[in-house]
Amino acid sequence: MPAASGRSDREGAAALSELFAATGVPAPLAAGALARLGPDAADRLRADPWRLLRVPGVRPPQADHFARAVLGDAAGPGDPRRGRALVLHLLTEAARAGHTVTPAAEVVAALERARVPDPRAAVEAALDEAEVLSLTEEPEFDEESFDEDAEPEEPEEMLGAERWALAEEAAAEGFQRLTLTAAPLLDDAAVKELRDGLPEDRSLALTAALRTGVSVLRGDADGLAAAAAGIAGAAAGAGLRAAVAAPTDRAAAGLPAAGGAAVTGLHRLLEPREAPGGVAYGRGERHPLDLDLLVVSDASALDVELCAALAEACPDGAHLLLCAEPGAAPPAGPGRPLDDLEASETVPVVTLDAAPPSGPLGVLAAAVRGGDLPAVDAPDREVVIVPAADPGEAVHRAVQLVTDSIPRALGIPAGDVQAVAPAAGGPAGAGALNAALKARLNPGPGAFGGMDPGDRVVVAAPLPQAAVGETGTVAGGGPHGLDIDFPAGPATVAPADAARLRHGWAVPVALARGTRRPAVVAVLPAEGLSRPLVATAFGLATRHLSVVQAAGPALAAAVRDGGPPPRRTRLASLVRQ
């Protein structure tokens, strides 16, 4: 790595723009490169052009083209810098699919396909850089493992990008520490008094929260919100320091009051601040939260890094209650911490009794969670199914619903309507929907990093000012950055951080979760569907749900048979150690 040049942000941006112009790299990539590589990005890329692969959206052929433009004939498939960068790129792509680790054999095979002459040497070079870790995965034992003729399985070598591998270990250590240091927060008599008059399921949940360091509570969204508020409020009423935290500030604003306990966004509670390549949290091992009990709503939205930060921020002796709907979609980021924690069988798990579904929306959401996709009776148009023959028609129908049909027929303004899709990409994904919605709702040249005043945005990667999934509205912009009105108040996002924002009239389901809206337009093509994703999308609506059905029979099949794609993680085994 070259020595730091000490460039200012403006100088760094100018140097990078000059380099990209000379090598034919699209100018919009500059913001992402500056965010990932810092103001010395141009110097770093001249020294190692394949570092361009660290910028989201850049593919290996593009990085190879850039390397040839920078290095000329010296750039070749066997360059050690190329192999090293490809290893990290492959693991980063796996993390975008939710995996925290990948079998080394799969990485080696992918390097062979990329024409790396010595794939194993490339892996070793990446390990030497310490941004990739080698991890041994011990085989799981079952009854057949103890048969006399059974051949013992060999441990499998796994590779993981350092940031996610270490986050998984930190989360496991945090859960273990909280479990081992926990003592009952109240004596038996006080707990009994709080339990008096509660239904059995709520009583069990309260007891687990007050007596064990880490516990899990499952149930439907409304039941969980009421239980979380009740448990935190009861604890606060008994003199304990308690709080309820939601994934976003907007989600927290939608939760019921919790007596004397605070209700806030988890990101804000952890006190985020700017750090190289992202955010760091002010709350942690050295400065833990001043809480005895923390209740986290929609905890299945927590990826492994946020879960690690949460566990580290809880002081010894604190109790942590994690709430989530059963079968919820996995988080937008890598890992599946809540499911892994439950699978470890090291913490109590309480499930609230299912209340009878309320109204057409409740009936439909409950049916989907159970694997059925019925036609529901919706006399007041709470649920509307809109067929679409292809992705182009799906986008057209969605725009009609958001901008005209729902506001006109139901009196719900477009600002209270959220479109969701299984993914960002694709002809009917959130990106295509946002392009069409912007053209109708707020046309403009994208004067400020592709954004215009009045655009709705969503946070796609953590910002010091807002959590992943938080939405806001662009108020203005300039050389100083983008001025955004977020639910918690106005904030200015620096130019280098603007790449962490996306247009937010339509968002992937994983980014929308936890924040319910009066009206939701779920655009469902055949690709990327699963029962948890559909259930999560349908559960976001509080008054009206329009389903743009572009999947045909694939939708019912996904609800009936489709779990989410499996994620390779280590947290369950680490917690059990």
Is residue 3 very low, low, confident or very high in pLDDT (cuts 50, 70, 90)? very low
Q: Are residues 301 and 380 in the same domain?
A: no
> Which residue, 355, 385, 413, sits at the end of a domain?
355
Q: How far apart are CA 540 and CA 223, in angstroms?
A: 15
Q: Are residues 378 and 315 in the same domain?
A: no
Q: Are residues 49 and 37 in the same domain?
A: yes
- The answer to the question of residue 101 being in a domain is yes
In terms of Cβ atoms closer than 10 Å to its own Cβ (0-12, 13-18, 19+), residue 331 is buried
Give the chain's length.
577
pLDDT of residue 2: 43
Higher pLDDT, 497 or 266: 266
Residue-wise pLDDT for 540-567, tens only, equals 999 999 999 999 999 999 999 877 889 9
- The answer to the question of residue 435 being in a domain is yes
- The answer to the question of residue 41 being in a domain is yes
**Average pLDDT over every residue of 341-348:** 96
Q: Are residues 230 and 103 in the same domain?
A: no
**DSSP element (H, E) containing 91:** helix 80-96
> Which residue, 313, 338, 355, sits at the end of a domain?
355
Q: Are residues 246 and 367 in the same domain?
A: no
> Which residue, 355, 377, 411, sits at the end of a domain?
355
- The answer to the question of residue 463 being in a domain is no
Name the percent of the chain lying above pLDDT 70.
96
Examine the pLDDT at 478 and tell me if it is beyond 60: yes
Higher pLDDT, 178 or 275: 178
pLDDT of residue 439: 97
Which amino acid is residue 252, in one-letter code? A
**Average pLDDT over every residue of 501-507:** 97
Is residue 407 very low, low, confident or very high in pLDDT (cuts 50, 70, 90)? very high
Q: Per-residue DSSP letters for 377-397? A: --TT-SEEEEE-SSHHHHHHH
Q: Are residues 313 and 372 in the same domain?
A: no
Q: Are residues 347 and 422 in the same domain?
A: no
3 Cβ contact list (under 8 Å, min separation 6): none
Q: Are residues 321 and 387 in the same domain?
A: no
**Average pLDDT over every residue of 34-49:** 92
pLDDT of residue 28: 83
Q: Are residues 515 and 538 in the same domain?
A: yes
The CB density around residue 161, as the number of other CB atoms within 10 Å, is 25
Examine the pLDDT at 145 and tell me if it is beyond 70: no
Examine the pLDDT at 153 and tell me if it is beyond 90: no
- The answer to the question of residue 471 being in a domain is no
- Total domains present in the chain: 3
- The answer to the question of residue 453 being in a domain is no
Q: Are residues 437 and 290 in the same domain?
A: no
pLDDT of residue 172: 98
Examine the pLDDT at 244 and tell me if it is beyond 90: yes
pLDDT of residue 57: 86
Q: Are residues 349 and 220 in the same domain?
A: yes
**Average pLDDT over every residue of 24-40:** 87
Give the phi and the psi of residue 427 in degrees, each rounded to 5: -65, -15
Examine the pLDDT at 5 and tell me if it is beyond 60: no
Examine the pLDDT at 391 and tell me if it is beyond 60: yes
Q: Is the pTM of this model over 0.85?
A: yes
Name the least confident of 233-237, 413-417, 558-562. 558-562
What is the span of the domain harbouring residue 90? 9-137
pLDDT of residue 1: 42
Is residue 264 very low, low, confident or very high in pLDDT (cuts 50, 70, 90)? very high
Examine the pLDDT at 144 and tell me if it is beyond 60: no
pLDDT of residue 139: 64
**DSSP element (H, E) containing 134:** strand 132-137
**Average pLDDT over every residue of 347-352:** 97
Report which of 345, 341, 342, 350 is spatially closest to residue 171, judged by C-alpha positions.
Answer: 341
> Average pLDDT over the chain, rounded to whole?
93
Cα angle vertex 539, ends 258, 372, to 5°? 135
Q: Are residues 344 and 431 in the same domain?
A: no
- The answer to the question of residue 545 being in a domain is yes
Question: From the CA atom positions of the chain, what is the Rg in Å?
Answer: 25
Examine the pLDDT at 325 and tell me if it is beyond 60: yes
In terms of Cβ atoms closer than 10 Å to its own Cβ (0-12, 13-18, 19+), residue 74 is exposed
Residue-wise pLDDT for 168-227, tens only, equals 999 999 999 999 999 999 999 999 999 999 999 999 999 999 999 999 999 998 899 999
- The answer to the question of residue 479 being in a domain is no
CATH number at residue 527: 3.40.50.300
pLDDT of residue 137: 72
